Amino acid sequence: MKNQLPYCNTSEAIKGYENSVVAKSENNDCVVRSIASAFGIDYDLSHQIVRDTFGRRFGKGTYGFVEVMNKLARNRVRIGRKCCKMMGKPMFEGSTLNTLDYNVIVKGKKVSRQMTVGTFVSKYPTGTYILTVARHAFTIKDGIVIGNYEDSVKKRKIVTAAWKVGS
């Protein structure tokens, strides 16, 4: 398909994914996979970190991911050898949540738009990022999507939160 983002299979992008017994029996582990691929750590280690730090239960989704990630970013907590930084601007004065909204001029009027996955990749073509869209998380590394195949196709999904991962 020509209208999609470059995609890398999870088994190729995540260390230890192919050989992990835990990975083969997991469901709803998008956060585990995004942490592993973004921070360059082993799947099983990522699974343990997400269980301990985010309170994720086996086979269940990770609830409260955005709030805990923002806390980790503010405190500059390292996962592996890297830490992350919140992207966007605060929603309001004193907010712990950020927004990725941006302004464009349409017919001479300033209009606020929500960031989509396609816009995000064109605005930030290099670097490693963890993105959340509605009830889902995945990694973008140098413009390549690491997550589910659909994440590379559905470029018009609204990005609800993003973090830049670096040293």
- On whether residue 1 sits in a domain, the answer given is no
Examine residue 39 and state whether it is found in any structural domain, yes or no: yes
Q: Is residue 89 part of a domain?
A: yes
- Distance (Å, rounded) from C-alpha 90 to C-alpha 81? 27
Instruction: Give the count of domains, the chain.
Output: 1
Specify if 56 maps to a domain. Answer: yes
pLDDT value at residue 32: 96
The answer to whether position 2 is within a domain reads no
Residue 97 inside a domain? The answer is yes
In-domain check, residue 121: yes
Residue 2: its pLDDT value, please? 63
| 60-114 per-position pLDDT tens digit | 999 999 999 999 999 999 998 999 999 998 888 877 888 899 989 999 999 999 9
Q: How far apart are CA 111 and CA 109, in angstroms?
A: 6
Element (H, E) at 139: strand 136-141
Specify the pTM.
Answer: 0.91
Note the helical H segments in 55-161: 65-74, 117-123, 149-153
**Residue bearing tokens 């994440």:** 151
